Amino acid sequence: MSKTKVLIVDDSALVRNMLEEMLSSDPAIEVVGTASDPYMARDKIKQLHPDVLTLDVEMPRMDGVTFLKNLMRLHPMPVVMVSTLTEVGADVTFEALELGAVDFVTKPKIDLVNTFEDYTAEICRKVKAAAGVSKMALERKYARYSANLQSKAPVVSSSPAKKVAEKYTADAVLAKRSFNNRHFRTTDKVIALGASTGGTEAIKEVLMRLPARTPGIVITQHIPAAFSLPFAKRMDSVSEMTVMQAEDGQQILPGHVYIAPGGRHLLIARDGARYICRLNDGPPVNRHKPSVDVMFRSVVQNVGPNSIGVLLTGMGNDGAEGLKELQGVGAPTLAQDEKTSVVWGMPGEAVKLGAADMVLPLEKIAQKIIDFADQ
């Protein structure tokens, strides 16, 4: 099997050396070169033909976002952003991912030498996943960015970077049990949506197409704590629905969207005839917190057949088992298709399990949600 060839672009010699050592520790990755600025990177891309670029944001002569914009316009290729700015500068990160970057990893703000290596497994995993993203998918992302820019529509995208944790299932947070049909009867529906890599752009595309009358939506997107609130605010600016970061005890209302805060699991509970949000600080599930499987399981137990399950683009398998559980209680289930997914990991795993009643391109998912909600 051929190795994933990586070019590292960072103005810091220390970071370049550390990244080279970290990536080279994976036998499936080969670091073919490094560059200290975008002009050098441009030349080395032509010489070395890397499969993936790691790219810093703040660099001399040309900033990383400007370089990324030129790269995606002229020579689309998978890019993973690696920068301290991606944690504190959410807008910069969102723009980079809108432009076509596949994912991002944050550098520690302090004690870089002793702490950056903790992210080795995460960085290697994201780089290898990025290598699988097709040129066509990147071209579609840049085309959407250009179209939104021309129409002056707000745009957003993001993806998380988290330390690798021990892999637990949803059982670690919520024991498996059947739907409780002894609740006060209600016909209110809840739409449960999960996503990861490439997901925030996909979520935006779905929310932009949903009317204000849509039933309440709960969303788990793999995202760090520093990004979930800015992400919710950006989604609110493009949707007819009211979008917010979920708070513990908050009632789920029609026309509203509740996004799981980074670092907390979002569960749906019942309070009489009402659905409410519950935040949980349990361990990461499928190495993610928030976890889609956790949210889906809570929906199974408390909403049951009145729910609609949706699984969008994302790396890994979080949400696949949960979507199967939703299907098992009679909830309609949707998965994004491979062609329109940035990474067909999570929805692909759900399809393998037979958990998706329908597999649809991204642009058709909103209408199908409306159709199910109106039934």
pLDDT digits (tens, 9 = 90+) for 73-111: 999 999 998 877 555 567 777 788 888 899 888 777 777
pLDDT at 178: 79
Which entry of 196, 239, 298, 341 is annotated as an active-site residue?
A: 196
Which entry of 291, 318, 337, 341 is annotated as an active-site residue?
A: 318
Structural domains in the chain, sorted by start: 4-151 (3.40.50.2300), 170-374 (3.40.50.180)
Which entry of 10, 51, 157, 222 is annotated as an active-site residue?
A: 222
pLDDT at 138: 85
Interior/surface letters 214-227, b for 16+ CB within 10 angstroms, e for the rest: bbbbbbbbbbbebb
pTM for the complete prediction? 0.82
- Picking from 170, 181, 177, the residue whose alpha carbon sits closest to that of residue 220 is 170
- Picking from 60, 106, 346, 55, the residue whose alpha carbon sits closest to that of residue 226 is 106
Strand, helix or coil for residue 325: helix
Question: CA dihedral in degrees (59, 9, 106, 13; nearest 10)?
Answer: -80
pLDDT at 149: 61
pLDDT at 166: 55
Active site residue 171: no
Q: Which uninterrupted H or E stretch holds 55?
A: strand 52-55
pLDDT at 156: 37
Q: What angle do CA 15, 19, 22 make, to 5 degrees?
A: 140
pLDDT at 288: 92
Q: What is the residue type of 181?
A: N
252: DSSP letter: P
Active site residue 196: yes
pLDDT at 329: 96
CB count within 10 Å of CB 282 equals 16
Active site residue 222: yes
Question: 9 and 41 in contact (C-beta within 8 Å)?
Answer: yes
pLDDT at 183: 62
- List of residues 6+ apart from 141 with CB closer than 8 A: 72, 98, 99, 100, 157, 198, 201, 342
pLDDT digits (tens, 9 = 90+) for 161-173: 334 445 688 888 8
pLDDT at 331: 97
Below-50 pLDDT ranges, the chain = 152-165
CA dist., res. 372 & res. 375, Å (int): 5
- Picking from 214, 220, 222, the residue whose alpha carbon sits closest to that of residue 196 is 222
| Residue 7, CA atoms < 13 Å, CB-side half-sphere | 22
